[in-house]
């Protein structure tokens, strides 16, 4: 049985707040109801079988969307592996003023690129951004570690994998030959027997 629009709103509000009474107030006209009446009606709604089923569906969907998929993890690791510090910041020299002798005071500095600030994937490559006595410190995720993790997920670091696949292919091919009657043991070999007369050592065979 499908839910009514108000019951659907109740389920969504309950998933958001975790409070049945609040979910009921958001979904139904409860302005003139007492707290106890709202509580009883909300409890009755939660007890309905179709409402419980819908809440379970919504909970599973929320968990599924919250958990990172394998593909998403590999894409994120690939971004870490491909992103260099020069992709995130731009370096330059800036004139801060003049010293007592009138010479310009030049300071080397860097700033995060504007394009990075608009790209969440690039921003995710920044592992640490902190202020120190020497200035702002920026640290990226290790490209090497990202590549190593990708290698494990893809099986690149398993030299035995190719050998295992080759062995399986050979086993399948052998089984196919046996089923086709092509593998019936080694082919017969020709054997030549030479007989000599022991009484005549110099006799031709």
Q: What is the pLDDT of residues 108-124, one digit of tens each?
A: 777 778 877 777 877 88
Least confident piece of the model among 74-78, 117-121, 161-165: 161-165
Q: Residue 114: its pLDDT value, please?
A: 81
**CA-to-CA distance for 108 and 140, rounded, in angstroms?**
20
Domain boundaries, the chain: 5-66, 84-140
Q: Are strands 126-132 and 135-140 parallel, antiparallel or unpaired?
A: antiparallel
The two counts, helices (H) then strands (E), for the chain are: 10, 4
Q: How confident is the model at residue 72 (pLDDT cuts 50, 70, 90)?
A: confident
Q: Residue 140: its pLDDT value, please?
A: 85
**CA-to-CA distance for 32 and 92, rounded, in angstroms?**
66
Q: Which two tokens stand for residue 193?
A: 């027997």
5-66 CATH = 1.10.10
Higher pLDDT, 117 or 104: 104
Question: Of 162, 172, 174, 108, which Cα lies nearest the Cα of 135?
Answer: 108
Residues 8, 54: contact at Cβ < 8 Å?
yes
Q: How confident is the model at residue 131 (pLDDT cuts 50, 70, 90)?
A: confident
Q: Residue 27: its pLDDT value, please?
A: 92
Query: pLDDT exceeding 90 applies to what percent of the chain?
Result: 18
């Amino acid at each position: 049985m499908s839910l009514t629009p108000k019951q659907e709103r109740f389920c969504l509000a309950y998933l958001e707040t975790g409070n049945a009474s609040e979910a009921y107030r958001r979904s139904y006209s409860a302005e003139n109801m007492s707290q106890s009446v709202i509580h009883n009606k909300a409890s009755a709604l939660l007890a309905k079988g179709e409402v419980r089923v819908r809440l379970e569906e919504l909970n599973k969907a929320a968990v599924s969307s919250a958990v990172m998929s394998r593909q998403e993890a590999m894409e994120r690791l690939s971004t870490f592996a491909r992103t260099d510090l020069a992709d995130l910041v731009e370096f330059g020299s800036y004139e801060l003023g003049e010293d007592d002798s009138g010479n310009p005071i030049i300071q080397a500095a860097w700033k995060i690129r504007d394009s990075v600030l608009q790209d969440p994937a690039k921003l995710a490559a920044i592992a640490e951004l902190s202020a120190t006595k020497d200035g702002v410190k920026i640290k990226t995720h290790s490209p090497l570690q990202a590549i190593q993790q990708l290698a494990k997920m893809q099986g690149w670091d398993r030299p035995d994998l190719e050998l295992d696949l080759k062995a399986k292919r050979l086993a399948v091919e052998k089984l196919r030959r046996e089923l086709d009657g092509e593998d019936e043991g080694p082919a017969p070999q020709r054997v030549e027997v030479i007989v000599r007369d022991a009484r005549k050592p110099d006799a031709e065979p």
